[in-house]
Amino acid sequence: MRCHYSNYPRNIQLTKKYFGTDGIRGRVGEMPITPEFVMHLGYSAGNVLASSEWHLSKGERPAVLIGKDTRISGYMLESALQAGLSAAGVDVLLSGPMPTPAVAYLTRALRLQAGIVISASHNPFEDNGIKFFSAAGTKLPDVTEHAIEAGLKAPIKSMPSAQLGKARRVNDARGRYIEFCKSTFPNHLDLRGLRIVVDCAHGATYQIAGPVLHELGADVVAIGAQPDGLNINLECGATHSAALQEAVRLHRADIGIALDGDGDRVIMADKKGVLYDGDRLIYIIAKHRQQKGLLKGGVAGTLMTNLAVENGLRKLNIPFARANVGDRHVLELLQKEGWQLGGEGSGHILCIDKHTTGDGIISALQVLYAMRDSAKTLPELAHGVTLYPQRLINVKVPKGFDSRANLAIRAAQADAERDLDDSGRVLLRPSGTEPLVRVMVEGESKQKVKHWAEKIADIVRNAAAE
C-alpha cells in the first residue's frame, strides 16, 4: 500500500501497538483477534487504500485479495475483514485457503492494491493473525502499518450504499499459483523417478504442494493433507518433523518436504530421514548457484544462523551478512546489498529472483533443482558444512520484560561468551509474537552449549519471576 500520508498525523509514534514482526497475531477471541477489532482493522486499512495515490480509472475502487489458512476461525475473521473493507469502499476478492506466498503472488498478478492473509503460521489452531502485502507482493512498510493503526482511533463510518465495496471469489486462484510455482523450476528438468513425501501440516498448501510436485513428474506421497479446522500444525509439518521422517522411511522415499501451516517455511529430509533445516538448505542453494554462475552477491542470514554456515560460505568465498531475526529483516538486508538469497534456520527462505517473499514450495524446488542438475543427494550437496550444536530455550516472561536491563542475566551471558571464546555465540532476544525470551547458545562443544543455555535460561526465569 502506498499511502498518501498527508491525511494522517505526521507525529505518529514509532512504536506500534498491534503490528509485530509478522503482522498481527494472538489467541482467537482475545484482543486483538476478535471479530470487532478485525472489522475495524479492515475498515482502517480500507481507508488507507482509499486515500492512496493509485492510478485508478474514474469511479474505480481499490481492491484487496483475502486468503487464509485452514483454521476454523478463518471463516469468522474473513467475514469481519470483508465487512470492514466494504464499509470503506474497497472491493474484496476471496481466494479461500491459500498459502501466504500465494496471496503475495496473486496480489501482484491480479494488479490489486493489497493482499491480506488470515493465518498464525506455525502456531496451533487456537491462534490466528492478519498479515498484509503491498501491491508489489512485499510486506508493508512500517509507515503504512502506523497509518493503519492511527486509523483505528476513528469510529467506523460506512460509505453510502452506492459506494460500498463488492466481493467475489477468485475461482482459479489455486491453478494460477500452481503454475507459478512450476515456472520457477527449469523447463529442461523434471522430477521423474523421485518419490517425494510432502507434509502439508493440514494447512494452506494441502491442495497445492502435492499437485506442483506431481505435475513436475514426481511420485508424491502427501501427508498432513486432511485439514478439519482444528488440526493445523498438530504433530506434523515443518515444526513437528517426526511425521515426515517416519513417512519417508515407511514409503522408502528419496526425499521429504515439510511445510508449515501457511506454507512460507520448509524443512527437508533425506532418504534416511535425516533433517535439513533452513540454514543447510540455504547453503545448498547458494553453493549450487555459485557453481552455475547464478549467485548474485552473497547470502543474508540472521542473528540465529548457525555459525557453521557462515564459515562454510566463507570457504566458498561467498559473502555473508546477518540481519535481525525475521524474514522481513532478511529481505531488507537483501535489498540493501542487492543480493537475492537469504533466510533463517526455521525454514523461511527468500529467493527474491523467484518470488517477492518467502515461499516453502518454491524454496524446496530450488533444492530439488540442485539435486537434479548435479545428480547428487542431499547429504552430498550439504557436504562442507556440519552444523555446530545449538540449544534454544524459550522462557516465558511477563509482557514488557527486558532481559538486557537485568545485571544477573548480563553477567551470565558475559561468563558464557568468555568460556566459549571464538568457538561459539550467545544470543538473547525477545520473541516478536509471544511473551518469551529466546535463549540461544551455540558452539563446537555440545557439553558447554547445553550447560550455558540451561544456566542462562534459569537465570532469566528467576529474574522474570521477581
Confidence of residue 346 (pLDDT cuts 50, 70, 90): very high
Confirm whether 365 is domain-assigned.
no
Average pLDDT score over the chain = 93
Q: CA dist 465 to 82, 397, 411, 429, 462, Å? A: 42, 8, 18, 18, 5
Q: Are residues 262 and 319 located together in one domain of the fold?
A: no
CB atoms within 10 A of CB 362: 25
Q: Residue 7: is its pLDDT beyond 50?
A: no
Q: Pick the last residue of a domain from 233, 257, 273.
A: 273
What integer pLDDT is reported at residue 199 of this predicted model?
A: 98
Confidence of residue 416 (pLDDT cuts 50, 70, 90): very high
DSSP string for residues in 193-207 = T-EEEEE-TTSTTTT
If phi over 0 gives left and psi between -120 and 50 gives alpha, with beta otherwise, what is residue 172? alpha
| Count of structural domains, the chain | 4
More confident: 9 or 372: 372
Q: Are residues 12 and 156 located together in one domain of the fold?
A: yes
Q: Are residues 17 and 164 located together in one domain of the fold?
A: yes
Range of the domain at 224: 176-273
Asked if 133 and 115 count as a contact pair (C-beta separation under 8 A), the reply is yes
What integer pLDDT is reported at residue 52 of this predicted model?
A: 67
Q: Residue 180: is its pLDDT beyond 70?
A: yes
Q: Residue 274: is its pLDDT beyond 80?
A: yes
Give dist(CA 204, CA 12) in Å, integer: 35
Give dist(CA 190, CA 185) in Å, integer: 8
- Name the β-bridge partners of 61: none
Q: Are residues 146 and 28 located together in one domain of the fold?
A: yes
Q: Pick the last residue of a domain from 317, 347, 381.
A: 381
Confidence of residue 335 (pLDDT cuts 50, 70, 90): very high
Phi, psi at 317, each rounded to 5°: 60, 35
Q: Are residues 142 and 256 located together in one domain of the fold?
A: no
Q: Pick the last residue of a domain from 381, 415, 439.
A: 381
What integer pLDDT is reported at residue 11 of this predicted model?
A: 40
Which residues form the catalytic set?
A: 121
What integer pLDDT is reported at residue 418 of this predicted model?
A: 94
Q: CA dist 124 to 3, 119, 258, 293, 435, Å? A: 34, 10, 16, 41, 16
Confirm whether 132 is domain-assigned.
yes
What integer pLDDT is reported at residue 8 of this predicted model?
A: 36
Confidence of residue 6 (pLDDT cuts 50, 70, 90): very low
Q: Are residues 25 and 80 located together in one domain of the fold?
A: yes
Per-residue model confidence as pLDDT tens digits over 39-72: 999 999 999 987 765 545 556 789 999 999 999 9
Confirm whether 69 is domain-assigned.
yes
One-letter identity of residue 177 = Y
Q: Are residues 412 and 263 located together in one domain of the fold?
A: no
Confirm whether 367 is domain-assigned.
no
Confirm whether 366 is domain-assigned.
no
Q: Are residues 159 and 185 located together in one domain of the fold?
A: no
Residue where the block lists cell 530450488: 366
Phi, psi at 409, each rounded to 5°: -65, -45
Q: Residue 455: is its pLDDT beyond 90?
A: yes
Per-residue model confidence as pLDDT tens digits over 250-263: 999 999 999 999 99
Per-residue model confidence as pLDDT tens digits over 191-246: 999 999 999 999 999 999 999 999 999 999 999 999 999 999 999 999 999 999 99
Confidence of residue 20 (pLDDT cuts 50, 70, 90): confident
Q: Are residues 49 and 160 located together in one domain of the fold?
A: yes
Confirm whether 258 is domain-assigned.
yes
Instruction: Provide the percentage of residues in the chain whose pLDDT is more than 90.
Output: 86
Give dist(CA 442, CA 391) in Å, integer: 6
What integer pLDDT is reported at residue 150 of this predicted model?
A: 95
Pick from 184, 221, 179, 177: nearest CA to 366: 184
- Name the β-bridge partners of 266: 259
Per-residue model confidence as pLDDT tens digits over 63-108: 999 999 999 999 999 999 999 999 999 999 999 999 999 999 999 9
DSSP string for residues in 237-249 = STT-THHHHHHHH
Q: Are residues 282 and 269 located together in one domain of the fold?
A: no
What integer pLDDT is reported at residue 3 of this predicted model?
A: 37
Confirm whether 251 is domain-assigned.
yes
Task: Tell me how many helices (H) and strands (E) the chain has.
Answer: 14, 18
Q: Are residues 39 and 160 located together in one domain of the fold?
A: yes
* Intra-chain end-to-end CA distance of the chain, in Å: 44
Give dist(CA 8, CA 48) in Å, integer: 9
Per-residue model confidence as pLDDT tens digits over 391-414: 999 999 998 899 989 999 999 999
Q: Are residues 152 and 50 located together in one domain of the fold?
A: yes
| CATH number of residue 104's parent domain | 3.40.120.10
Instruction: Provide the percentage of residues in the chain whose pLDDT is more than 70.
Output: 95
| CATH number of residue 437's parent domain | 3.30.310.50
Give the cell for residue 48: 488507507
What integer pLDDT is reported at residue 56 of this predicted model?
A: 57
Confirm whether 337 is domain-assigned.
yes
- Name the β-bridge partners of 139: 133
217: exposed, middle or buried (Cβ count in 10 Å: 0-12, 13-18, 19+): middle
What 3-state DSSP class applies to 40?
helix
